Amino acid sequence: MTSRLARTNILVGALFSLSAFATSSAPASSAAPVDLVCHEPYTVTSLVPIRYSFAASERKYYRAGALTDGKKGSSANYKDGRWQGFNHGGNRSVVIDMGRVNTVKGMQERFFQDCGDGIYFPREVDFALSLNGKDWSFVGKVSSKRSLTIRKIETQTYKVSGLDYRARYVMMTFTVDVWVFADEFQVFGSKGVEASAKAPKPGPSIAYPDAYLRPGSPEVGGIRNMVLIYNGYYPSDPASGKNTVNQLTPYVGYKTRSGKIEDFMFDGFLFLPFVAAGAPSGGKYYCSTPHPAVMSDWLYYINNTFDESNNLGALNIATGNVKRILNDTGYKAKVEIAIPYPSPAATNFGDIHGDGKSENLSLLPDREAVIRWYVNQVMKRWNAAKYTNLKLVGFYWYEEAADFSVDDSEAQMLRYAGDYIRSLGKVLDWIPYYQAPGFVEWHSLGFDGAIMQPNYAFDKFPEKELGEAAAASRKLGMGVELEIHWDATRDPIYREKYYAYLNYGVSTDYMKAAVHAFYQNGGPGTFYNCCESSNPAIREIYDQTYKFIKGTYVPYFPGRERATSRELK
């Protein structure tokens, strides 16, 4: 799993006068439609920036003019030089200025799918027309008629017909979840204006939040800074799956170098299973078609999480100790608990109802039933535990992408999960990997809040990708995850990478304006190791993280002078 993977924002104004363009005599309406954009130049824009992330890989498949050169690509090979590839970015909008007002009768585009190479049909394609290039009329939305789960090489043409509009500008916008390959954008009609052609009527604008998900907002249960606490099955080191009171205390309260608890630290705690370790049955808690987790694995995770002496039990004790030291009797740490992925490959999940019938998760009703069963089990255990120092605010969707290519009912299942959890007065939050499938429409998929992973700590992106990721999160109304590599305590390169996250938090304002999640390694966690380290450079990570949480952090560069945030822009 690569972790740690809509349409253009259109301004709507007044109708533009047609008279400025209506200079051609009306053609005969019986004339055969022609391709009005063949060999015409075009511009391509992505919904969110990819310059410092995916653009380098996309350039390999850039074919100048390929979308309108009149040459159709091979139906079996996307590397034939005629297909143009697009990598991530949320979506692409292709705009063509035809140079004059014409009569548009139909529009279409052809796409390629090869799931084995991560190339998928767009889930949706929008076609739009304009007289002035600013005010757009959407004249057709076409969804894929082929399942994204089909593992074979094929092509598909998305088209709208039966149009009769005047337009000078045409636009096509298509979703890009991973890779999309396109080869021929065609617009059919007549040159000049036919008497029957109507002026396109601009539609409503599509507005994006353009503001980070606020810290302390109800969408994240009031959390401002949430740390990821891994627990559960870890066969090579069982103790790693059992976070103790001692280990959790420096997360609840800021522990000075002299060992004194001086303030609160993280206010939110996300409990989630280890990725690498998997589950007792050999399955995986994330989307793994060959090895799905089953009922016994899910129950194991619940039991481990609700251990009286470790994990939630230990967090309750640690929080009680810290709040007594700080004389804040009303304080409660906020908790979210992960929901494992109900994989469609689990056709023999287990008997959750006790009726002798095992759930088959290739069926949507059974997937929904398992989600409901799991949430009810967690709520039952939580209520029985009667934690005096903790507050369960919600659940976390463990899978870090919307797996549209795994099951056709993925979106429906996610919306069901969100609706059911909200009916219990809790929230459903998500932390997708960088530009993961579904990240653009995270809210419409049923999530209350979403925090995006930049993945800079793990991928070979240049540092400026952090600014790019911040811009994407802000545009889409998301929070920001700060990620510290597990080797940060051993390698100064990874320490510098972590400080880059903190530094960009100042220069792009997500330190104060966004809710944060903090990724770390498990057992007992990188921040704990930094807190307890006798090495000043490693201990400094914990201290600077505390300042970031409190909004007092000043950009810090290990090994050289401090600099202003201006250097980061």
pLDDT given for residue 34 in this prediction: 97
Q: Is 474 helix (H, G, I), strand (E, B) or coil?
A: helix
Which parts of the chain sit beneath pLDDT 50?
1-28, 561-569
pLDDT digits (tens, 9 = 90+) for 231-263: 999 999 999 999 999 999 999 999 999 999 999
Evaluate whether 157 touches 146 at the Cβ level (below 8 Å): no
* pLDDT confidence of residue 560: 54
Instruction: Report the chain's terminal Cα–Cα distance, integer Å.
Output: 31
What percentage of the chain reaches a pLDDT higher than 90?
A: 90
Instruction: Give the pLDDT of residue 38.
Output: 97
Q: Hey, which residues does 390 pair with through a beta bridge?
A: 333
pLDDT at 204: 84
Burial class, 272, CB count within 10 angstroms (exposed 0-12 / middle 13-18 / buried 19+) = buried
Distance separating alpha carbons of residues 115 and 404, to the nearest angstrom: 12
Helix (H, G, I), strand (E, B) or coil at 255: strand
d(CA 234, CA 279): 8
Sign of the CA dihedral running 380, 381, 382, 387: positive
**In b/e form, how buried is each residue of 541-565, taking b as 16+ CB within 10 angstroms?**
bbbbbbebbeeebebbeeeeeeeeb
Name the strand (E) or helix (H) holding 480. strand 479-483
Looking at residue 397, its pLDDT comes to 98
Q: Are strands 43-46 and 225-231 parallel, antiparallel or unpaired?
A: unpaired
Backbone phi and psi for residue 469, each to the nearest 5 degrees, phi listed first:
-65, -40
List, in order, residues 6 or more apart from 551 with CB less than 8 Å away.
Answer: 511, 512
Q: How far is CA 495 from CA 217, 483, 498, 527, 556, in A?
A: 30, 11, 5, 12, 11
Q: Where are the beta strands (DSSP E) in 72-224?
A: 84-87, 90-113, 124-130, 136-143, 154-160, 165-176, 179-190
Q: Delineate the domains of the chain, giving CATH numbers in brackets.
A: 34-190 (2.60.120.260), 218-568 (3.20.20.80)
The DSSP result for 159-198, as a single string, is: EE-S--EEEEEEEEEEEESSEEEEEEEEEEEESS--TTPB
pLDDT digits (tens, 9 = 90+) for 2-50: 443 232 232 223 222 323 333 334 444 556 899 999 999 999 999 999 9
- Residues 284, 293 contacting (CB under 8 angstroms): yes
**Can you give the pLDDT at residue 25?**
42
Strands 427-430 and 449-452: parallel
Statement: the pTM of the whole predicted model exceeds 0.85: yes
Q: What is the pLDDT of residue 523?
A: 86
Alpha-carbon distance of 382 to 391, in angstroms, equals 9
Q: What is the pLDDT of residue 309?
A: 96
